[in-house]
Chain A
Amino acid sequence: MNTVNDIFGKQLKILNIGLEQFADDLTSQGIPCIQLDWRPPAQGDPEAADLLSLLLE
């Protein structure tokens, strides 16, 4: 069974989804971080986003 302790002491490899300042701050400290090019999932009605997830599951 995985526990939270598994991450302690390991190199963090971070994915940033949203505000770019968080990625910039990490990069400036030399911490590996990827910035996701995020867009809201479905065009038009945001409610459709959830429907989309249901369909994709």
Chain B
Amino acid sequence: MIATAICTETKQLIANNTLVHGKVHSVFGRVFNVLTNDRHLISFLSDKILPAPRSICVDLPARQSMHVSGFLPGMSVAFSSTQVCIGSYLHIDLTRAREWDPHPTFNFDPIGEHLLVENIRSVRDILMCHGNLHGIAGITPFLLKTSPVAEERNPALNSAGELILPRINKLLACIISGDMESLRHAAGNVVGFGPGLTPSADDFLCALMASLLYSDAYYARNLSRTYQINNAIIGKIFERTTTLSAEMLSLAAQGWVAEGVRRLLLAVFAENGQRALKDRLLSVLDYGETSGTDLTAGVYAGCLLGMCLEDHGRTVNLASLLS
């Protein structure tokens, strides 16, 4: 197989011999994951999927799954700068892969604020209308209690949503107040919760953390506060959630997200992004089963929170949330 894209960080880790070997962790239809010697997860994705942090995209033929291609959990994996060898006979040629930069794109031309509000509203409406609400995304209209209930879908909360809504609202309030200790505690009550291979609440948090950073960039704020906040959120993840999810959370804390989510964030915040917004939303909503919807709910929360941080006066009912 040929790698068509490689995350620049992965390429560097291989080049300086940090990444040398590992084992296949899990195999799915269009993806397989490798757990490396330095306890990282490298995903190998079909190049029909957009790249993600640390991933390598390969030219998996259209009607062929990773299973039929021969990848098996437990197979040993060896990395070199020219190829990845899996098991005793599978090779992935790295020499033709274009580089994908996982670093967030903060140097965009910001859209006018009235249009930003429109965009955030679209995120909410499209997610409620087209998303899969079986995770926790049903809580969206009730976040921070600032948005009216959407007309088209009855957002009756499922049991997961009911349980997690107050905890997430508490977490959001702690972000606004900046109380790190309470934030750490609040996060501990959210991380690892929900159905799915990557728990729903984790998808939400990943997108929340990344959106906060993009919001800082939009308002030209210093990012250090948000980095501190994100670090507080992910403080204890390795004991509280799955290996796969913990990896994604720690990357998202730095603003490293899958290309589809990055494009969505740029469509929300950047000039000339509006036209692409709906397509990029639908594209992200399509991820996994509920992952895409939970991620989008996190984007909404992060964008809304970002606006509140700019002007506390805009936050309604904040006092009641803090008690």
A residues in contact (CB < 8 Å) with B: 18-21, 24, 38-40, 43-46
Give every chain A residue within 8 A of B126 (Cβ-Cβ): none
Smallest CB-CB A-B distances: 5 pairs: A44-B74, A21-B63, A20-B63, A40-B72, A39-B67
Q: A24-B63, A39-B67, A46-B72 are in contact. List 6 more A-B contacts (CB 8 A).
A: A19-B64, A19-B68, A21-B63, A40-B67, A40-B72, A46-B87
Residue of B nearest to A20 (CB): B63
B73 with A44: CB separation less than 8 A:
yes
**If the complex has contacts A18-B68, A38-B68, are A45 and B63 also in contact, measured as CB distance less than 8 A?**
no
Contact with A along B39-77 (1 / 0, CB 8 A): 000000000000000000000000110011010111100
Partner of A45, one of B64, B67, B74: B74
CB within 8 Å: A-B pair count: 25
Q: Give the chain A neighbours of B87 by CB distance below 8 A.
A: 46
Q: Please, which residue of chain A has its CB at the minimum distance from the CB of B72?
A: A40
**Closest residue of B by beta carbon distance from A45:** B74
Q: Which residue of A lies closest to B70 (CB)?
A: A40
What are 25 A-B contacts with C-beta separation under 8 Å? A18-B68, A19-B63, A19-B64, A19-B68, A20-B63, A20-B64, A21-B63, A24-B63, A38-B67, A38-B68, A39-B67, A40-B67, A40-B70, A40-B72, A43-B72, A43-B73, A43-B74, A44-B72, A44-B73, A44-B74, A44-B75, A45-B74, A46-B72, A46-B75, A46-B87
CA distance A38 to B87 in the complex (A): 19
Bound CA span A40–B70, Å = 7
* Nearest B residue to A37, CB-CB: B67
Please indicate the chain B residues that have their CB under 8 angstroms from the CB of A20 in the complex: 63-64
Interface residues in chain B, defined as those with a beta carbon under 8 Å from any beta carbon in chain A: 63-64, 67-68, 70, 72-75, 87
Docked Cα-Cα span, A46 to B87, in Å, equals 9
Q: How far is the CA of A24 from the CA of B64 in the complex (A)?
A: 12
Q: A43 vs B74: C-alpha distance in the bound complex, in angstroms?
A: 7
Query: Which A residues are in CB contact (< 8 Å) with B67?
Result: 38-40
User: Within 8 Å CB of B74, what residues of A?
Assistant: 43-45
* Across-interface contacts of A39 in B (CB, < 8 A): 67
* Closest-CB distance, A2 to chain B (whole angstroms): 31
Shortest Cβ gap from B32 to chain A (Å): 12
Q: For the complex, give the distance between the alpha carbons of A38 and B29 in Å.
A: 12
Residues of A within 8 Å of B64, CB to CB, are 19-20
B87 (CB) vs chain A CBs: closest residue:
A46
Query: Which B residues lie within 8 Å of A24 (CB)?
Result: 63
Kindly list chain A residues whose C-beta atoms are within 8 Å of the C-beta of B70.
40
**Which B residues are CB-close (under 8 A) to A40?**
67, 70, 72
Expressed in whole angstroms, the Cα–Cα distance for A21 and B67 within the complex equals 15
Complex alpha-carbon distance, A18 and B73, angstroms: 18
Q: Within the complex, what minimum Cβ distance (angstroms) separates B196 from chain A? A: 22
CA distance A18 to B63 in the complex (A): 10
Report the Cα distance A39→B64, complex, angstroms. Answer: 12
What residues of A have a CB within 8 angstroms of the CB of B75 in the complex?
A: 44, 46
